[in-house]
Amino acid sequence: MHNREIQRRNIGEMRNMIQHTEQTGSEGAVPVRKYEAVIFDLDGTLLNTLEDLTDSVNVALASVGCAARSIEEVRHFVGNGVRRLMERALPGGADDPRFSAAFAAFGRDYAVHCNRKTRAYPGIPELLRALRAAGVRTAVVSNKTESAVRRLCGVYFDGLVEIAVGDVAGRARKPAPDAVLAALDALSLPAARAVYVGDSEVDVETARRAGLPCISVLWGFRDADCLRAAGASQMVRDAEQLRKCLLG
């Protein structure tokens, strides 16, 4: 082999090594996937929906002659779906003779006003884009009605959330694993290749029942003490820390 040919091959190998380093190095890196899919809760995890939920709760309560609830009260009422939210908000709960009217009033108001004050949490759209760029598939599973879940995902995360699953008749709500398993089925992935991300004790239990590891976020509707008491083993303080947990 001539010296020039050897030299050309060595240069080619060096270029390949440089290209590989640029693709896998720390700066401008192509992230390494830890999971093939991430399943997110919606309220308190991706979106801060608390003000709109509180407003609609109070419209419903006013319609049946009840006093308003504070935003902090509603913070502790959410997590198990809108029916349970109104059961907790109404003084007499589900046995209150005004419950059906209040629940219907909430549904009407929230269907129209679910996006007045709602906002994505800081860094969440960027996180979803990074996951998609890395080839990680994304889904949202919520106890919110499925129509509201799809509407809000379309407004805030268009093209960034592949599957949006909400509450529908005939399917058990979280913490039952049914909705998470439906999302995994739609993604054609087993639980072993996915991780669940949420903000509440309901999410910790949902992940456990579905057989997924759980990452709990601290910017949502529950604090660290509540999550720890529920069995949370991994908690993150912001979207950047979550990105590192998901992509390295």
Q: Is the pLDDT of residue 206 over 50?
A: yes
Percent of the chain residues past pLDDT 90, beyond the cut: 84
At residue 246, what is the residue type? L
Angle, helix 201-210 to helix 178-187, in steps of 10 degrees: 60
CA 129/CA 149 separation, integer angstroms: 19
Which residues lie across from 47 on neighbouring strands? Answer: 43, 120
Tokens representing residue 43 in the block: 């309220």
User: 34 pLDDT band (50/70/90 cuts)?
Assistant: confident
Domain 37-49+118-247: CATH class, spelled out:
alpha beta
CA 86/CA 98 separation, integer angstroms: 11
Instruction: Please state the length of the chain.
Output: 248
Comparing C-alpha atoms, which of 44, 39, 41, 42 is closest to residue 195?
39
CA 27/CA 79 separation, integer angstroms: 39
Q: Is the pLDDT of residue 3 over 50?
A: no
- So what's the architecture of 50-113 in CATH? Orthogonal Bundle (1.10)
DSSP state, 43? B
State the catalytic residues: 41
Q: Could you state, in order of their start, the residue ranges of all structural domains in the chain? A: 37-49+118-247, 50-113
Q: Is the pLDDT of residue 5 over 70?
A: no
Reported pTM: 0.85
pLDDT of residue 31: 53
Looking at residues 73-81, what average pLDDT do you find?
94
Q: Given the structure tokens 């030299």, which residue do they identify?
A: 7
Out of 11-15, 96-100, 145-149, 196-200, which region has the weakest mean confidence (pLDDT)?
Answer: 11-15
For the chain, the average pLDDT equals 89
CA 29/CA 22 separation, integer angstroms: 7
Residue 198 · residue 142 · CB < 8 Å = no
Looking at residues 168-192, what average pLDDT do you find?
97
Out of 17-21, 128-132, 147-151, which region has the weakest mean confidence (pLDDT)?
Answer: 17-21
Residue 229 · residue 197 · CB < 8 Å = no
pLDDT of residue 248: 80
Fold: same for 37-49+118-247 and 50-113 = no
Residue 219 · residue 43 · CB < 8 Å = no
Residue 105 · residue 59 · CB < 8 Å = yes
Looking at residues 37-58, what average pLDDT do you find?
98
CA 26/CA 151 separation, integer angstroms: 37
Strand order in the sheet with 214-217: 163-167, 137-145, 37-40, 194-198, 214-217, 235-236
Percent of the chain residues past pLDDT 70, beyond the cut: 87
pLDDT tens profile 84-120: 999 999 999 999 999 999 999 999 999 999 999 999 9
pLDDT of residue 150: 95
Looking at residues 16-43, what average pLDDT do you find?
62
